[in-house]
Amino acid sequence: MIEKDIDEQIKWAKINADVLRSMENPRRAYWITFFICIAMMACAVTAEIYQYNTGMGVTNLNNPHMWDMYIASFVFWIGMSHSGTLLSAILHIIHADWRKPIYRFAEAMTTFSLMTAGFFPMIHLGRVWNLYWVLPYVSDRGAWPNFRSPLVWDAFAISTYLSASMLFLFIGMIPDLAICRDNARGWRRKLYTVLSLGWIGSDRQWRNFRKTYLLMACFLIPLAVSVHSIVSSDFAMSIMPGWHVTSFPPYFVAGALYSGCAAIITLFVMLRYYFRFEEYMTVAIMEKTAKLTFAIAMVWTYLNLIEFASTWYGHDIYAKELLIAKAVGPYSWIFWTMLFCGMVVPFALAVEKFRRHMPTMFVVSLLLNLSMYFERWMIVAPTLSMSHDPHQWDIMWPSIVQWAIVFGSFGWFGLLFLVFVKVFPSVSMYEVKEMVFHRRRLINEDAAKVYSRRARDRKDATGEPELEGA
Amino acid sequence: MSLQNIMENWSNYRRGAEEGGHHKYEHRWGMAINLDLCIGCNACSTACYAENNLAVVGKSRFAKGQAMHWLRVERYWDESQNKSSSVTPDYPEEGASFLPMMCQQCNSATCEPVCPVAATYHTPDGLNAQVYNRCIGSRYCSNNCPYRNRYFNFFSYYESSWPEPLNLQLNPDLTVRDKGVMEKCTFCVQRIRAAKDKAKMADRKVQDGEFTTACAQACPTGAIVFGDRLDETSKVAKLWQQHEVKLGVYKQHKQNPEKRGYRIFEELNVDPSVMYLERVRDTGI
């Protein structure tokens, strides 16, 4: 079915009004979610205070299991951040303009999931108060971090990625902030006045803005790939069976994009409902997002299978034994759930009927992310439970403290995200206008058929755009 | 690992353990453990608790795997030949093998490169040192240790492990570690330190047998031999030579395959400093 990504007859004033309205009066479900998030966060704060005062032992961690859910969650949240960059930077560069109504919240998701991920290495540290020692600051003792350690690379990679993606989010928002400034009153007006940096929409400003945005996009793409490769080297650089895997960097990046895309679908459905964005976050765009997710799911599936194959046909006896233990050992139900939800469930995305049904997509996307969480956990825990020395084999299940903190991290992420979408425009107004502007040139039916699939300017299109308001 | 150190020693750092590494060793402390002599009495482990202020964590935490025994005696059972019903598979009565397992002080230790703050590093004595004050508790070292010989202070044990007046029994030569710090066998570095200082005062070299580690001292059968591998005349160096075990290789090429010496997981190229002498069985079990 050929369908328009967006109704090109939509008036620009309506776009402004709709998006600005979303910042004022969301549905009640928004507030319910908001308070649920605060409650979840309270669980985590309580658990963390307890753990901080008592010691790491309350998490049930023990000698072989030095890492567990905290590290799995860390990898999970870092992974989640990747699709924001995919949508906002990669799709920007390849001129896929259907991204425009949804990239803003995806980019916000990037920033906030990084901010969530950043907590986990801190929470899991034995002496978190000495965290800054991993940074190369000037110390009177001349002590430096150990630059050979992947954990130090993590610190650099994540802080770089976080600052770059925050900057990218902010830069892309400047024209919209100016619109908000012109329509707001009270504290909001003051805030937007500062943040819009005196944007008046002059030609010169637009030119500089385009260049900066493109530059940031180009800067961010290699960064996104390198960040998760570095996270994967936390495992791949070790000598442990199941961790010491050469294919981990691409595997992690694929998994990251996968879970990120699934999260975009989840948030897509939620925002569409909360803020009545049915006209912008259309079913057609959902379909495209779902197809993208499906493609990435297949890449991930492939990489997953070759990882098993290379272990199976390899001569690393420890790794092979571990692989068998994953499939039939005490953690096997997690392993099989992960494979089912990660490899079989995505085929729902290949069915058009499912792709067009929002509640189904919501459930499917949550299942995909469940699989991705399990995947990270299956990387971390079974290796530790069954490493080289059989005397130290052990089965460990995380305690309530770990659960509470991981649970609360979702609350923290949700809280940040919900505050963001209330304070800042979660749909990019100026880019939706651009999209509408280009689509208006294709008013005739034949062209629309082409352009609903391939977003590209056509010089000989009939029907000049209407230049109302700017 | 200061910048100056990196700049000056860059080419040395690129040499692997096979080429002797980048260290100019003063000593290379090592061990030889004769499993034929080991009776599994755990005296070594107990001595280690006393010498190194190891926390006694209590039953429930021990069961959780949070124990702090730097030296553990691993028990392994062969497949039991005895089919009688009195022998349960969990507690076989015969055929136990014991393996005293402590930090192997690897010369290319996997724990060292992964520590983000360089809290663990290699000393010119050939020891794998752990700087408690520098440790931030990321626990990566323990994850990357194939022997799983690094123990983490999951709790603060001072009050529970040494209630008054037991705190008076603490060894004053070393610290009591607080929660959040990784620790492991040091080859009784405080004894090494003391012996070296004494030798320096007398203007001589440390002599073999002048001191030994707590575990070796406590072993009733003398299964554990400790000494300097660089000192050709030392007992441990002779044992290594006799059993044709070499440092700096990941596979021993023995002239005589009957020699019992081996190093655990040496195929991982971690180059451990502890040699074990295989147990010889005289029965079918």
Distance from CA of A399 to the nearest CA of B (A): 11
pLDDT at A446: 59
Look up the domain containing B97 and give its range: 25-277
Residue B49's CATH number: 3.30.70.20
CB contact (8 A) between residue A239 and residue B136: no
* Residue B162, in any domain of the structure: yes
CB contact (8 A) between residue B143 and residue A66: yes
pLDDT at B92: 56
pLDDT at A469: 45
The partner residues of A294 in beta bridges, in order of sequence, read: none
The phi and psi torsions of A315 (rounded to 5 degrees) equal -110, 15
CB contact (8 A) between residue A151 and residue B138: yes
Structure tokens, A290 = 């779902």
pLDDT at B89: 58
Which residue among A133, A390, A392 sits closest to B117, beta carbon to beta carbon?
A133
Residue A42: CB atoms within 10 Å: 13
* Residue B93, in any domain of the structure: yes
pLDDT at A1: 41
pLDDT at A406: 93
Q: Does B63 touch chain A (CB under 8 A)?
A: no
User: Is ipTM over 0.90?
Assistant: no
Distances (CA, A) of A306 to A79, A310, B16: 20, 6, 31
Do residues A4 and A452 lie in contact, with contact meaning Cβ atoms separated by under 8 Å?
Answer: yes
Say which amino acid occupies B41: C
**B261 SS3 class:** strand
* Residue B226, in any domain of the structure: yes
Pick B15 or B80 by higher pLDDT: B15
CB contact (8 A) between residue B153 and residue A388: no
Count up the domains in chain B and report the number.
1
Percent of chain B with pLDDT over 90: 56
Which residue among A55, A131, A134 sits closest to B156, beta carbon to beta carbon?
A55
pLDDT at B54: 93
pLDDT at A38: 95
C-alpha triplet B183, B186, B189: angle, nearest 5°: 130
* Residue B274 CA neighbour count, 13 Å, CB half: 27
pLDDT at B251: 86
Q: Does B3 touch chain A (CB under 8 A)?
A: yes
pLDDT at B87: 54
Distance from CA of B229 to the nearest CA of A (A): 26
pLDDT in tens, B197-237: 999 999 998 988 899 999 999 999 999 999 998 888 999 99
Which residue among B61, B101, B118 sits closest to A57, beta carbon to beta carbon?
B61
pLDDT at A468: 45
- Domains (ranges, CATH) in chain A? 12-135+148-447 (1.20.1630.10)
Which chain B residue lies closest to A65 (C-alpha atoms)? Answer: B143
CB contact (8 A) between residue A239 and residue B146: yes
Task: Select from B140, B158, B178, B185 the residue whose CB has the most chain A CBs within 10 Å, as the one to mutate to test that interface.
Answer: B140
CB contact (8 A) between residue A67 and residue B148: no
**B53 SS3 class:** coil
pLDDT in tens, B52-99: 999 999 999 999 999 999 999 998 876 655 555 555 555 555 667 899
**A355 SS3 class:** helix
Residue B27: CB atoms within 10 Å: 20
* Residue B90, in any domain of the structure: yes
Enumerate residues 6+ apart whose C-beta is below 8 A from A139.
none
**Chain A contact set for B151 (CB, 8 A):** 63
* Residue B243, in any domain of the structure: yes
Enumerate residues 6+ apart whose C-beta is below 8 A from A394.
A62, A63, A64, A65, A385, B65
- Give the pLDDT band (50/70/90) at residue B21: low
Which residue among A57, A64, A134 sits closest to B155, beta carbon to beta carbon?
A57
Dihedral sign from CA coordinates of A348, A349, A352, A354: positive
What's the burial of B105, exposed, middle or buried (CB within 10 Å: 0-12/13-18/19+)? buried
**Chain A contact set for B115 (CB, 8 A):** 146, 149
* Residue B284, in any domain of the structure: no
What average pLDDT does the segment B128-135 reach? 92
Which residue among B64, B114, B181 sits closest to A62, beta carbon to beta carbon?
B64
**Chain B contact set for A237 (CB, 8 A):** 113-114
pLDDT in tens, A363-401: 999 999 999 999 999 999 999 999 899 899 989 999 999
* Residue B11, in any domain of the structure: no
What average pLDDT does the segment B48-52 reach? 93
Enumerate residues 6+ apart whose C-beta is below 8 A from B131.
B119, B120, B121
pLDDT at B81: 58
pLDDT at A442: 64
Enumerate residues 6+ apart whose C-beta is below 8 A from B138.
A121, A124, A125, A126, A151, B115, B116, B117
Residues of chain A with pLDDT under 50: 1, 452-457, 459, 461-470
Distance from CA of B194 to the nearest CA of A (A): 25
CB contact (8 A) between residue B65 and residue A57: no
- Nearest-angstrom CA–CA distance, A296 and A276: 29
CB contact (8 A) between residue B117 and residue A57: no
Do residues B271 and B146 lie in contact, with contact meaning Cβ atoms separated by under 8 Å?
Answer: no
Distance from CA of B112 to the nearest CA of A (A): 9
Contact residues, B window 126-165, toward A, CB-based 8 Å cutoff: 134-140, 142-144, 146-148, 151-156
pLDDT at A28: 84
**Taking Cα atoms as reference points, which of A233, A373, A321 lies closest to residue B140?**
A233
- Nearest-angstrom CA–CA distance, B76 and B74: 7
Q: Does B61 touch chain A (CB under 8 A)?
A: yes
